[in-house]
Amino acid sequence: MDENLQHRLRARTVKYLQLFALFIAMAIICIPGLWVVLNSFRPTVEIMAKPPVWIPQNLSLDHYRAMFGGVGEGGVPVMRYFTNSLIISVTSTIIAILVGMAGGYAFARYRFRGKAAIFIGLMLTRAVPGVSLSLPLFIVMAKTGLIDTHIGLILVYVALNVPFTIWLIDGFFRQIPAELAEAAEIDGCTRWQAFWKVEFPVARAGVASAGIFAFLTSWNEYALASQLTRSTFSKTMPVGLRDFTSEFTINWGGMCALAVLMIIPALILTFLVQKHLIAGLTFGGVKG
Amino acid sequence: MAQVNLRNVVKRFGPLQVVHGVDLDINDNEFVVLVGPSGCGKSTTLRMIAGLEAISEGEIAIGDRVVNDLPPRHRNISMVFQNYALYPHMSVRENLGFSLEIAKKPKAEIDKAVDEAAEILSLTDYMDRKPGALSGGQRQRVAMGRAIVRHPDVFLFDEPLSNLDAKLRTQMRTEIKKLHQKVNSTIVYVTHDQVEAMTLADRIVIMRDGYIEQVGTPLEVFEAPANTFVATFIGSPPMNLLTGRVAADMISLEGGLKVAVPDQYRANVSEGQDVVLGFRADNLMPVGHAMPMEGAFAELEMTVNLSEPLGTETLLFTSIADKEIQAKMLNPRPVASGEKLSFQLDLTRCHLFDAETQNSLRSN
């Protein structure tokens, strides 16, 4: 038979198999999310129906109305949680970026004693599962009176984010040739000016993506926040989700509505910088 | 007035010493080229003049100021980098005006200086583009423009042409030379390309392994190389070298060849001395295709292994005692591999080096 035809058929088959595999993988990833969004719009009866109702019969904004109105079971203070989440995530991100920029720049540009060891040490901290820190953290926070405060959680998230931020930003600065800063110095800049006027603007996209990583980590974190927050004063949105469970019932619809509220800012940010996110991850990976 | 003086300048990276006590005086308005193979310390020397590398020992003065510990911004220098180092987030205009902006010069003055530089380098049509949208040659020009707007005392060039293709390189070479005549400034230029060094320099500094091997005008280093390294590094094709021993005013060379000791060296060699005879391809030509030789010459018969026609001349590759020897043929005719030709070696233009020190035996 025609050899070319054979190869063409084989190539086509492989392509369809790949598309099918991709479909399955994406379905596994996306269907839960889709289910959450759908549930936030339909009555509890339909959510709990057996067999499940795939095509929604009636959609409404009841759960959102209940959530923002503070009525219904528990009367969840959603806006308060949103504000807490925002304050904690934004503050911890800003601090993590400042520290990460200083650290990443130092690792990318300077030679100093113990550089490799410090870098590996920082990376090793990422190997420790966050939950295993919850008890020690709880004790420390309890002793220092930082339980149920914004500052306590901000500190935890800064510590969580700094190593990764340093790693990412180090990668971005490494990509900028050292001659740029040297040229700036020869053009009359101090070291400090050379950084802010030349290197920082060039690395800005990278720093922004590192910031978004840090923000998303803080925004989504549940395990530690659930230990370290107690009241509406400091509870973040992921912790707030639990308010929808009471002794005998779970308000699935309300919970899903809050989840959607959480997802929206994260989704917007991710779309804004997805190009940089991928760049950041890939050359972080190559660099090792 | 901006002469540059290096006094016993040493550079060490940890325990590794890369520049060994360099002494060099560069005059005002002089175009000096540092040339040498990679790793010879030429770039490091340049970066020490720029203030981008600290010096480990010695003294560097620009004008009549010692600048050892001054940061680059206080040295009044400009530098063109190999990769241009243009600021990617700024337009050409902003790139050119950056140094003046940092110096907080009034806007009108900046615009005037930038336009002037753009005019000199014919960049006026690209002023609002970002470097990413420029070709290699245009980037190169912006880099040079950025250097000239501030009217520095000294221009430093670090292999500025090595990222360009051959044609553009020749073109930019001419532009740099013209630029030097226009701006009348001291230039220190680093390259590994000896052709660039020969064509651009008022004086060439040949470096190897952190030492200066020779300093001289292009013709001086070409016609009177101080040692075999300079002899083979400067000039293309490289100088042919054959070892031999002096016996009764003759040199017995490897391969059983014998030539008379060239007259100009006769006083400086002793009986039984081991020497290296050097000659360029231009001084070894086949009979009938040679320049008329006025003084003493030797005649030798050799087999051509390979020929490279270049148009006006043909390069012939032959060998003596398994050493490749290159000769030149003027008014060329086709030469087949394996053809035997008799060659004339112009002894008046031969060089003689001591075999042990590799230094020239020419009397100074």
**pLDDT tens sequence across A226-248:** 989 888 888 999 998 888 887 77
Whether residue B99 and residue A201 make contact (CB cut-off 8 A), yes or no, is no
pTM over 0.90: no
For chain B, which residues score pLDDT lower than 50? none
CA quadruple A198, A199, A205, A207: dihedral sign: negative
Q: What is the pLDDT of residue A242?
A: 84
Question: What is the DSSP code (8-state) at residue A197?
Answer: I
Question: Which class for A18: exposed (0-12), middle (13-18), buried (19 or more C-beta within 10 A)?
Answer: exposed
Those residues whose C-beta lies under 8 Å from the C-beta of residue A37, and which sit 6 or more positions away, are A256, A260
For residues A120-133, average pLDDT: 86
Whether residue B73 and residue A186 make contact (CB cut-off 8 A), yes or no, is yes
The number of C-beta contacts closer than 8 angstroms across A and B is 59
Whether residue B87 and residue A180 make contact (CB cut-off 8 A), yes or no, is yes
Do A123 and A167 touch, CB atoms closer than 8 A? yes
Closest chain B C-alpha to A135 CA, distance in angstroms: 47
Q: What is the pLDDT of residue A285?
A: 38
Those residues whose C-beta lies under 8 Å from the C-beta of residue B90, and which sit 6 or more positions away, are B98, B130, B131
Closest CB to B102 among A177, A189, A202 = A189
**Angstrom distance (rounded) from CA B141 to CA B60:** 29
CB atoms within 10 A of CB B271: 9
Residues of B in contact with A202 (CB under 8 A): 87-89
**Angstrom distance (rounded) from CA B42 to CA B196:** 15
CA B221 to chain centre: 10
**Angstrom distance (rounded) from CA A43 to CA A36:** 13
**Angstrom distance (rounded) from CA B261 to CA B253:** 11
* CB proximity A200 to B under 8 Å: no
Do B82 and B160 touch, CB atoms closer than 8 A? yes
Whether residue B87 and residue A202 make contact (CB cut-off 8 A), yes or no, is yes
Whole-number Cα distances in Å, A38 to A27, A35, A47, A51, A65: 15, 5, 9, 16, 16
Which residue of B lies nearest to A195 if distances are taken between CA atoms? B87
Whether residue B79 and residue A184 make contact (CB cut-off 8 A), yes or no, is no
Read off the tokens for A204: 């800005």
Do A251 and A72 touch, CB atoms closer than 8 A? yes
Name the nearest CA neighbour of B156 among A183, A177, A197. Answer: A183
Q: What is the mean pLDDT of chain A?
A: 86
Q: Please give the ipTM for the structure prediction.
A: 0.85
Name the nearest CA neighbour of B200 among B141, B230, B159. Answer: B159
* CB proximity A185 to B under 8 Å: yes
Q: What is the pLDDT of residue A66?
A: 80
Question: Which class for A247: exposed (0-12), middle (13-18), buried (19 or more C-beta within 10 A)?
Answer: exposed
CB atoms within 10 A of CB A167: 21
Do B98 and B92 touch, CB atoms closer than 8 A? no
Q: What is the dihedral of CA B1, B4, B5, B11, to 10 degrees?
A: 160
Do B155 and B188 touch, CB atoms closer than 8 A? yes
Q: What is the pLDDT of residue A287?
A: 35
Query: What is the residue whose two structure tokens read 């001086």?
Result: B220
Do B33 and B223 touch, CB atoms closer than 8 A? no
* CB proximity A202 to B under 8 Å: yes
**Angstrom distance (rounded) from CA B121 to CA B138:** 9
Read off the tokens for B316: 């012939």
Which residue of B lies nearest to A193 if distances are taken between CA atoms? B102
Residues of B in contact with A182 (CB under 8 A): 50, 52, 72, 79, 81, 85
Whether residue B71 and residue A198 make contact (CB cut-off 8 A), yes or no, is no
CA quadruple A24, A25, A26, A31: dihedral sign: positive
B-contacting residues in A 152-181 (Cβ below 8 Å): 177, 179-180
Q: At what angle do helices A252-287 and A200-220 cross, to 10 degrees?
A: 140
pLDDT digit string, tens, across residues A70-103: 644 556 788 888 999 999 999 999 999 999 999 9
Listed range (A38-52, A165-179, A274-288) with the worst mean pLDDT: A274-288
Closest CB to B88 among A187, A189, A202 = A202
**Angstrom distance (rounded) from CA B83 to CA B121:** 18
Q: What is the pLDDT of residue B245?
A: 93
* Polymer length in residues for chain A: 288
Read off the tokens for B157: 């060039």
- What is the Cα gyration radius of chain A? 24
Residue A233 identity (one-letter amino acid): F
Helix ranges, B90-210 (H): 92-102, 107-120, 136-148, 166-183, 194-200
Residues of chain A with pLDDT > 70, as a percent, come to 93
Peptide bond preceding B237: is omega within 30 degrees of 0, i.e. cis? yes
Q: Phi then psi for B64, rounded to 5 degrees?
A: -110, 25
Residues of A in contact with B87 (CB under 8 A): 180, 183-184, 198, 202
Closest chain B C-alpha to A152 CA, distance in angstroms: 39
- Strands of the sheet with B297-303, listed across from one edge: B284-286, B340-346, B297-303
**Angstrom distance (rounded) from CA A25 to CA A15:** 15
Element (H, E) at B17: strand B16-26
Q: What is the pLDDT of residue A1?
A: 67
**Angstrom distance (rounded) from CA B204 to CA A63:** 83
* CB proximity B50 to A under 8 Å: yes
Peptide bond preceding A51: is omega within 30 degrees of 0, i.e. cis? yes
The per-residue b/e assignment along B315-346, b for 16 or more CB within 10 angstroms, e otherwise, is bbbbebeeeebbbbbeebeebeeeeebebbbb
pLDDT digit string, tens, across residues A258-286: 899 899 988 888 887 776 666 655 544 33
Closest chain A C-alpha to B33 CA, distance in angstroms: 20
Domains of chain A and any CATH numbers: 2-67 (no CATH), 78-282 (1.10.3720.10)
Residues of A in contact with B51 (CB under 8 A): 185-186
Question: What is the DSSP code (8-state) at residue A74?
Answer: S
Do B93 and B36 touch, CB atoms closer than 8 A? no
Do B344 and B285 touch, CB atoms closer than 8 A? yes
Interface-testing mutation among A187, A189, A197, A198, with chain B (most B C-beta atoms within 10 A): A187
* 3-class secondary structure, A285: helix
Closest chain A C-alpha to B198 CA, distance in angstroms: 27
pLDDT digit string, tens, across residues A183-198: 999 999 999 999 999 9
Query: What is the residue whose two structure tokens read 């031999």?
Result: B244
Q: What is the pLDDT of residue B363?
A: 77
